[in-house]
Amino acid sequence: MALTLVIGNKNYSSWSFRGWLALAAYDIPFDEVLLPLWRDGFAEKLARYTPAGRVPVLIDDDVQVWESIAIIEYLAEKFPEKHYWPHARAARAHARTIAAEMHAGFTALRKHCPMNFWRPPGQRELPPQAAADVARIEAIWTDCRQRFGAGGPFLFGAFSAADAMYAPIVSRFVTYGVAVNATAAAYMEAMQALPAWQQWKTAALAEPWVVAEDEVDWPTVLRV
C-alpha cells in the first residue's frame, strides 16, 4: 500500500512543505490528500487522520504520524537506503540538532514573514527579533556549508532531512527579499533548483484559496 500524506495549502502551509519535500525529494511514491486550511469542514476532515488537528499527517497502513520532524524520522527508519541523515556521526548529530532548532524556534520570523509562494518578491522591514532569527539562520547555513558541505550544494553536501526542515525558510527569504551572504544565497539557489521544489511551487501558484492572516499586504493580495 502506498504512503499517504495529508497536507494543507501549498502556498501557505510550511509544515506541510517539509513533510511533502521529505517524500518527493527522495522519489518515494505517495498519495496526497490536500485539505484547504480553515475552509468549511477542515477540522472535521482532518480529525479523520489525526487527533492533533494539524497538518501534515503521514499514513502508512495502520500507522499515523504527524509533526514534520516525526514524519522525517519515520521515513528515515522505513527507508534507510535513502540516507535522510548524514552518515558521519558528527555531521548526523549536528543535522539533527539544527533540525530540532528549526522545529522549536524562529517564532518571530515565522509570524512576521509567513510562507507565501505567490507573493511577488519584495523586502519587508524586519523587527529586531525577526532580524535576530535571520542572523541565526544565516549563521547555521554558513557553518554547515563550511564544515559539512563539501560533497554537494546542500547543508551537508547531499540533500538531507535538515534541508527539508529549512525549506520554508528559504521560501520566506525569497518572498520577503531577505539579504544573506554569498554562501547562504548559493544554498538557497540549490534548494530552489530541486525538481520537487519546482513541482510544489507550480501547484502553490495555481491554488485559489486565500488565507488572510498569511497575507502581509492584506486586504490587498499580491500574486505573481
Domains by residue range for the chain, with CATH: 3-82 (3.40.30.10), 89-201 (1.20.1050.10)
Which of helix, strand or coil describes residue 7?
strand
Distance set, CA 221 to CA 17, 63, 112, 114 (Å): 21, 39, 16, 14
What pLDDT, on a 0 to 100 scale, did the predictor assign at position 43?
Answer: 85
What amino acid occupies position 29? P
Is the distance from CB of 194 to CB of 157 less than 8 angstroms? no
pLDDT of res. 1? 63
According to DSSP, residue 61 is labeled T
From edge to edge, which strands make up the β-sheet containing 57-60? 30-34, 3-7, 57-60, 63-66
pLDDT at 190: 98
Task: Identify the residue whose cell numbers are 494539524.
Answer: 54
- Distance in angstroms (rounded) separating the CA atoms of residues 125 and 17: 25
In the three-class reduction of DSSP (H, G, I as helix; E, B as strand; rest coil), residue 156 is classed as strand
Q: For 56-102, what is each residue's pLDDT tens digit?
A: 999 999 999 999 999 999 999 999 999 999 999 999 999 999 999 99
Which residues touch 206 (CB under 8 Å, ≥6 apart)?
Answer: none
Q: What is the pLDDT of residue 142?
A: 98
Residues of the chain with pLDDT under 70: 1
Whether 117 and 173 have beta carbons less than 8 Å apart is answered as no
